[in-house]
Every structure is written in structure tokens, then in C-alpha cells.
Amino acid sequence: MRRLKWLGIAGMAVLVTMLAGPADAQQCPKGKLRIYTSWPMQGAMIPEGTGMKNGVDMAVAEAGGVVAGHCLEVVNLDDASPQTGKWDGAVEAENANRAVGDALAIAYIGTYNSGAAKVSIPITNRAHMAQITPANTYPGLTKTKGAAPGEPGIYRPMGFVNYFRIVPADDIQGAVGAKWAKQRGAKKIFIIHDQELYGKGIADVFDATAKKIGLQIVGNEGIDFKQPDQKPVLTKARAAGADLIYMGGVVDTGAPIVIRQMKDLGMVAARNVRFLGPDGLLEEEVLKGATCDAAMQTDMHITFASLPFEKLKGIGASTYENYKKKYSKEPTAYALYSVEAGRIAIEGIKRAAPQLDKAKDIKEKRDAVRQAILNIKNYDGLNGKWSFDENGDSTLETMSGFKVVKADNPIGCKFEFETILE
Amino acid sequence: MDWHEVLVQQSINGLTRGAVFALVALGYTMVYGIISLINFAHGDVFMLGLFVSLTIFTLLGMARTLVGWELVTILPLVFLATMLGCGLVNVTIDRLAYRPLRHAFRLAPLITAIGVSFMIENLALLWQGPAPVPYPDIFPSVDVLRDWVGLDTLVYLTTKDLLVIGVTAPLMFALQRFVTGTSWGRAMRAIAQDRETAQAMGINVEKMIMLTFFIGGALAGAAGLIQGIYYNIGTWYIGFQAGLRAFTAAVLGGIGNMPGAALGGLVIGFLSAWSDQYISARWTNAIVFSILILVLVFRPQGLLGEKAVDRV
């Protein structure tokens, strides 16, 4: 009896393996591939980081988790240091190394911060791995315009392009911002930036474009954002007669205090001084820190390197609807771009399918996918049809402008779409 | 704005900035004067002051702009509670981290102080999270010159500016009176000069050290509260930056010398505001520290410090 029982169990086990085994092989006969993602998932970045993670997950789910016979797995990494809660080059390097060291890793999606991308691109480049960013906008990562000497070559140690971005770079956002400032009647502009890659980069492009289109730049100052007092530099702006403060920065590099202290110093729209910033400031945390009162008194406006979700058409509109249905909340600023980044990775794998079968090792597989992505043209994306240019940049240049309006939410105000900027 | 309006405005900015530095610097200098320890955790007690006061306001349900009678009841009450809390924190730090090392090698408590600083910062990070925390507009902000005096000027002086001066000046004055005019103050000065002899004269040295830490912590707490009310924002890491500036102020004024710390704080406040205006904000830190070096080269004892005593 006892032996029989054991036989029964063994028989069951064999049956289970037979059922599971072939089914698995049927689903992904060519095995598993992994997509790695990397961006901050801590502190003020938790909502955005989660939204971006949701985006990639959604793209993979659309494909049913399988592409050309390969099962896809997403590995989410956090590139913020627990010490500071902000992105950290050492952590990002660790993440990129972990990805290239994984023999099943085929593509890398990230980063959020351009500074972090500077660290990881050379690592993925050496491994022939495609890196797709849903959010980096620093021009120097892909092109020489608005870049430091040596860029972007220093990020391509192997000499080829492996880094792709589907959002317009800052040189475009800074330029569009300057044109919008002129359109809205600004004459004398004082520029403030946080001395970081994104903030300074965008501020410098704004500066150059503004001068070209005949606006007067009365100052361009880098601030020490760890000092919670920017009154002196704002006083300087006021003394210079500025009617617009343009700030290059992100949510946690001093913008809330700048907006708040503009109000304290009487630099408000009623006295013809206004605030304009790039989309690093298009976050509710900025309004919380600055207070709605100050944001509205300074007539805060923001450029956004894309269209607002409600204005999207075609694929964009359906992606927006599906995201809301799937996660029952509004996507964060870069969540839908993460969907697109995920789709591009999948599209690359699909197009490279024949080479993947022939490839001897993972490096050849990665290289096939990288080349397939570089050759994507006329892709039907969120904002309409676009292609990758020879630098790996999207050819899209559609942007939008936001303003702050009163709202019936716990904060008391929100960002509202104002206009499409070309 | 005319050049003199700019100068006046930047001087107001510098004065308020400097007053907060000065208040923090006093705690540094007091502790150094008595036990020759640079208490690196001091800036973090200042940061705690901000968050402790915010918590008290929230618990009282008063995390909003105070009006009328609340300004003369709630506000002083929270000031006292915050100062008491931060004073006790500072005393606890001394008891746990510095006192066991009182007779150890000089560098030992210094390294411990750096460790304590990291610990407090990380506790605050756990407590408040990494994002900047908004601090409510507790004190009503009125444009004094235009709305009260009726002057038509571009210079902005708000009631918040007056609050900073109105709180820091009496605190500094009271401290000076306490140190120079009371028997406890005399005992503290005696310990600063010669601990062993002071003890032989019957002074309870440990009690006076405890008192010093309490007063220093209380001043840092008051500064934290003012910082919150004035700048309306707090982050867990502000203690480091404020501590560095305040330490610089203490050294500039002559470490161990209290009027010197106050003067040093004000000088740094003015210098940084003027440098933002007349040179460039990105050079401000470099300029402040260059001037510190220059002063120390020509006056190693600091602006008001006495000639170096034979301390090893």
C-alpha cells in the first residue's frame, strides 16, 4: 500500500511536469529575455517612478508577455541612493552593470535623470545593448548642439549609437520656451538655474534662443539650491527690472523656494513679474512647496516636452485610455512615454527576430535589437508618426504650455493645459 | 530700483539670513568655549528644531496663519516648547555621546560628533522623508513700509523680517547678560578658562556643561523655528549646510567668543547677500570662504577672539 501511494505521487509529479513543460515551451520556445529599467523610486520621485514602471509593464502586457517566441520579463531597478533619496551615479552604474552582466538581458529602459544616463550609456554601449529613455532631455547625450566639448562621443566608446530617446531634448524645449516667453509679452528676462545638468542645460539654450529672437537677458545665475534662501538673487533680478524669471531646475532643486520668495519680494504678476519653467517643474510637489497662492500670484507657466494626455489622438488617445483603465488613475508626466519606450524595445526585438535565432551569443542578440531600433522609421507613436534620426533622437518637436489654476483638490491648485507650442 | 534701494534690500536680506546663522553659531561657540569640542551635531539640532516646531503646530491644529491673540499666546508657547525640546535633545546627545569621552583623546569626541550628526540626519530622513517639507505660513506677512508706514518704495520689509530680528536680538542679548552677569555664567567662563581650577573652587563642572548644551540646543531650536516660519520649507539635510555656515561664522568671529559668533553670523549673512547681488550667486560660497581664509591669515584668533591661549 505504502509503495502504491509513493507511486501515485510520483505519477502525479510526472503528469504535472508533462503538462507544464510543453506548455511553457509552446509559449516561449526560444526562452526568456529580460528588459531592465532604472530610475529613482524614492521620496518625491515615488509617484513618477511608479507611473513609469506601470508604463513599461503595460507595454509588455499588451504583447501578452511574449515577443517572437521569447518570454519577456521586466526587472525594475532603483537608481536613487537610500542616503539622499536622489539619483546617484554609483547606484546607476551598479544597475547598468547588473543589466549587462545578465545573459538574458536584451534592452535597458531608463534613466529619468540625464546625469544618471551619462553614467549608464557608456556601460550599455560597450555591451551593444540598446538603452531607451522615456525622460532624459539633456541635449549632449545625443548631439553636439547644447552640449559640452566631447559630447556625445564620450558616451559611445564603441563608436555606434545605442541610446535612444523618444522625448524632445532640452535644446528644443529651451528654444520653444523662449519663443513662448516672447509671445506672452516678456521683454527683460532673468534666468536662474540649479547648476545641475538638466537645469543649466535648458537655461543656457533658453538664453541663447532668447537673445536670438530679440529678448533682453538681464541675468543668468546659478544658485546654491541647498541654501533655503534665494532672496538676494531674486532681489538682483528685481533690481535689473526683470519681467520674467525663467528657472532651469527640477522639483527638489529650489524652485518652490524661488516661487515663494518671488511673492515675498513683491515679484508678482500684478507688478508685472512672472515665472516660467521647464517640465522638470511640472509636478504637484512644486505647487505644494511653493503654495498655490505664490504660484498663482507669479502667474507660473511651464513648458512640457509633449502634448497633454487629453489632447492626444490615435494611438496616443487609446494608450491614455488603456492606462487609466488598467491602473485606475491618471498617468504621471512620463508614464505614457514609458509605455512607448517599452513598445519600442518590443518592436526592436520583433524586427530582429531572424537575427536573434542565428545569433551565437547574447552580445549578437543585443546588437541585432540595437540596430533594429535605430532603423525604426515612421513609427506610429503617441504624438503621431515619427522616426529616429542618426543620433537616436525622436524627430518629433510638438510641445505644450501649462499654467497654474485654482482647483478643488487638497493642494488648492493644479497645472492646466494652455496651448500647443511648435 | 535705485542703487541705494538695492543696497538696502540686500542688506535686509543679509541681516535676516545672518541673524539665523548667528543664533546657530552661538551654540557652536559656547560648547567649544567650554569643552573645546566642535559639536558637528549642532546644525542637526537646528534642523530638528524646524521639524519639532512643525509637529507641535500640527498637533495643536495650528498649522496655518495665526491671528490676533494666537500670536501672543500660541507662538511664544511653541517657541518655548521647541527650545525646551531641542535643549533636552542636545543635553541627551552630550550625556550619551560626549560625556563618556570627556577625558579621552581630543579627536575621539570630534569623530563621535560627526557620527551623531549622521545619525540625527538619518533619523530625520526616516521621520520626514527625503522630499522638501512645506512649512505653513504661521506668521502673517505684512508689507510694512507700504501698508503700515505708507511709503512708496520698492524696498520690501515684511513683518516676517521684523520677527526674525525681534526674536534673535533679544535672545542674543539675554544670553550675553546671562554669561556676563550671573553666577552661573561666571562659572561657565571659569570652566572655559581652566576646568581643573574651576572644579577645585567648588564649581560643579558637569552641571555647567549640561547647562551649556541645554542653552546651545535651545538657541538652535529657536533658530530652526524661525527658519521654518521665515522660509516656509524644511529638508532633512539643511542642518549640514546651516551648521557649516554657522561654524564658519563662529570661527570668523573668534571661536569661543559669543559676541564674535553673533558678529560672524551677521558678516556672513551680509557678505553672501551682497555677493549674490554684486558678483554672482554661483561664486558666493567661494567668496564667503575666501574672506574667512583672509581673516584667519591676518587675525588667526578671529575678528573678536583674544590672542590664542596656550591650548594644544
pLDDT tens per residue, range A192-210: 999 888 888 899 989 999 9
CB A292 within 8 A of CB A413: yes
Q: Is the CB of B130 less than 8 angstroms away from the CB of A291?
A: no
Query: How many contacts (CB atoms, under 8 Å) link A and B?
Result: 108
pLDDT for residue A5: 54
Q: Place B3 in a pLDDT band, splitting at 50, 70 and 90.
A: confident
CB B9 within 8 A of CB B156: yes
Chain B residues touching residue A285 (CB < 8 angstroms): 131-132
Per-residue pLDDT at A289 exceeds 90: no
Read off the amino acid at residue A395.
T
Q: Which residues pair with A385 in a beta bridge?
A: A380
DSSP state of B136: -
Q: Place A82 in a pLDDT band, splitting at 50, 70 and 90.
A: confident
Q: Place A26 in a pLDDT band, splitting at 50, 70 and 90.
A: low
Q: At what angle do helices A335-351 and A314-327 cross, to 10 degrees?
A: 110
Set of cell numbers at residue B129: 522623508
pLDDT for residue A311: 87
Chain A residues touching residue B125 (CB < 8 angstroms): 85
Average pLDDT value for residue range A42-62: 92
Q: Which residue of A has its CA nearest to B277?
A: A236
Q: Which of A13, A24, A65 is nearest to A349 (CA)?
A: A65
pLDDT for residue A225: 86
Q: Is the CB of A252 less than 8 angstroms away from the CB of B132?
A: yes
Q: Which residue of B has its CA nearest to A239?
A: B1
Q: Place A213 in a pLDDT band, splitting at 50, 70 and 90.
A: very high
Set of cell numbers at residue A103: 545573459
CB A107 within 8 A of CB A348: yes
Distance from CA of A4 to the nearest CA of B (A): 59
Q: Which residues contact A3 (CB under 8 A, 6 or more apart)?
A: none
CA dist A96 and A92 (Å) reads 6
Q: Which residue of A has its CA nearest to B1?
A: A239
Q: Which residues contact B275 (CB under 8 A, 6 or more apart)?
A: B281, B283, B284, B287, B288
DSSP state of B68: T
pLDDT for residue A106: 96
If one counts every other C-beta atom within 10 angstroms of the C-beta of residue A258, the result is 28
Q: At what angle do helices A114-126 and A89-100 cross, to 10 degrees?
A: 30
Mean pLDDT of chain A: 89
CA dist B122 and B103 (Å) reads 28
Q: Which of A200, A164, A207 is nearest to A396 (CA)?
A: A164
pLDDT for residue A309: 87
The burial of A414, by beta-carbon neighbours within 10 Å (0-12 exposed, 13-18 middle, 19 or more buried), is given as: middle
Query: Out of A241, A256, A261, whose CB is closest to B132?
Result: A256
CB B159 within 8 A of CB B67: no
CA dist B46 and B220 (Å) reads 4
Per-residue pLDDT at A315 exceeds 80: yes
CA atoms within 13 A on the CB side of B262: 13
Q: Is the CB of B227 less than 8 angstroms away from the CB of A233?
A: no
Chain A residues touching residue B143 (CB < 8 angstroms): 266
Set of cell numbers at residue A324: 487609466
Q: What does R_g of chain A's alpha carbons equal in angstroms? A: 24
pLDDT digits (tens, 9 = 90+) for B246-299: 999 999 999 888 899 999 999 999 999 999 999 988 898 899 899 889 988 999
Query: Out of A224, A238, A289, whose CB is closest to B281?
Result: A224
Q: Is B234 helix (H, G, I), strand (E, B) or coil?
A: strand
If one counts every other C-beta atom within 10 angstroms of the C-beta of residue B195, the result is 18
The burial of B11, by beta-carbon neighbours within 10 Å (0-12 exposed, 13-18 middle, 19 or more buried), is given as: middle
Query: Out of B10, B160, B241, whose CB is closest to A226?
Result: B241
Query: Out of A233, A241, A266, whose CB is closest to B156?
Result: A266
Set of cell numbers at residue A224: 546654491
Average pLDDT value for residue range A85-99: 93
Q: Which residues contact A361 (CB under 8 A, 6 or more apart)?
A: none
Q: Is the CB of A224 less than 8 angstroms away from the CB of B137?
A: no
CA dist B21 and B269 (Å) reads 7
Q: What does R_g of chain B's alpha carbons equal in angstroms? A: 20
The DSSP annotation for B253-276 comes to H-TT-HHHHHHHHHHHHHHHHHHH
| B175/A10: higher pLDDT | B175
Q: Which of A5-19, A177-191, A320-334 is least confident?
A: A5-19
What's CA B304's distance to the chain center, in Å? Answer: 18
Per-residue pLDDT at A16 exceeds 50: no
**Residue B32 main-chain phi, psi, to 5 deg:** -65, -45
| B148/B306: higher pLDDT | B148
Per-residue pLDDT at B70 exceeds 50: yes
Q: Which residues pair with A108 in a beta bridge?
A: A36, A131
Q: Is the CB of B282 less than 8 angstroms away from the CB of A222?
A: yes
Query: Out of B17, B130, B276, whose CB is closest to A233?
Result: B276
CB A249 within 8 A of CB A281: yes
Give one word for B65, left, alpha or beta, with left for phi > 0 and alpha for psi -120 to 50. beta
Q: Is B233 helix (H, G, I), strand (E, B) or coil?
A: strand
Per-residue pLDDT at A18 exceeds 50: no
Q: What angle do CA B95, B96, B100 make, to 5 degrees?
A: 80
Where do we find the cell 540646543?
A: B217
Query: Out of B154, B156, B238, whose CB is closest to A228?
Result: B238
Chain A residues touching residue B5 (CB < 8 angstroms): 239
CB A370 within 8 A of CB A192: no
CB B224 within 8 A of CB B46: yes
Distance from CA of B112 to the nearest CA of A (A): 19
Chain A residues touching residue B238 (CB < 8 angstroms): 226, 228
Q: Is the CB of B282 less than 8 angstroms away from the CB of A265?
A: no
Chain A residues touching residue B17 (CB < 8 angstroms): 229, 231-232
Per-residue pLDDT at B171 exceeds 90: yes
CA dist B163 and B140 (Å) reads 10
Distance from CA of A230 to the nearest CA of B (A): 9
Chain B residues touching residue A235 (CB < 8 angstroms): 6, 9-10, 13, 273, 276-277
- Rounded to two decimals, the ipTM of the complex is 0.84
Where do we find the cell 512708496?
A: B152
Interface test mutation site (partner A, options B46, B123, B231, max chain A beta carbons within 10 A): B231
pLDDT for residue A183: 94
- Could you tell me which residues of chain B have a Cβ less than 8 Å from any Cβ in chain A? 1, 5-6, 9-10, 13-14, 17, 122, 125, 129-132, 134, 137, 141, 143, 154, 156, 158, 160, 227, 231-235, 237-238, 241, 272-274, 276-277, 280-282, 284-285
Distance from CA of A224 to the nearest CA of B (A): 7
Chain B residues touching residue A226 (CB < 8 angstroms): 237-238, 241
Average pLDDT value for residue range B199-210: 93
pLDDT for residue A10: 53
Distance from CA of A79 to the nearest CA of B (A): 15
Average pLDDT value for residue range B73-92: 96
3-state SS track over chain A: CHHHHHHHHHHHHHHHHHHHHHHHHHHCCCCEEEEEEEECCCHHHHHHHHHHHHHHHHHHHHCCCEECCEEEEEEEEECECCCCCCECHHHHHHHHHHHHCCCCEEEEEECCCHHHHHHHHHHHHHCCCEEEECCCCCHHHCCCCCCCCCCCHHHCCCCCCCEEECCCCHHHHHHHHHHHHHHCCCCEEEEEECCCHHHHHHHHHHHHHHHHCCCEEEEEEECCCCCCCCHHHHHHHHHCCCCEEEEECCCCCCHHHHHHHHHHCCCCHHHCCEEEECHHHCCHHHHHHHCHHHHHHCCCEEEECCCCHHHCCHHHHHHHHHHHHHHCCCCCCCHHHHHHHHHHHHHHHHHCHHHHHHCCCHHHHHHHHHHHHHCCCCEEECCEEECECCCCEECCCCEEEEEEEECCCCCCEEEEEEEEEC
Per-residue pLDDT at A370 exceeds 80: yes
Query: Out of B1, B231, B238, whose CB is closest to A239?
Result: B1
The burial of B103, by beta-carbon neighbours within 10 Å (0-12 exposed, 13-18 middle, 19 or more buried), is given as: exposed
Q: Is the CB of A224 less than 8 angstroms away from the CB of B285?
A: yes
Q: Is the CB of B141 less than 8 angstroms away from the CB of A264?
A: yes
Distance from CA of B182 to the nearest CA of A (A): 37
pLDDT for residue B310: 43
Q: What angle do CA B137, B142, B144 make, to 5 degrees?
A: 145
Q: Is the CB of B281 less than 8 angstroms away from the CB of A222?
A: yes
Q: Which of B290, B293, B264, B280 is nearest to A224 (CA)?
A: B280
Q: Which of A251, A242, A145 is nearest to A201 (CA)?
A: A145
Distance from CA of B137 to the nearest CA of A (A): 10
Chain A residues touching residue B8 (CB < 8 angstroms): none
Distance from CA of B86 to the nearest CA of A (A): 21
pLDDT for residue B311: 41
Chain A residues touching residue B18 (CB < 8 angstroms): none
pLDDT for residue A148: 83
Distance from CA of B131 to the nearest CA of A (A): 5
pLDDT for residue A8: 53
Q: What is the pTM of this model?
A: 0.77
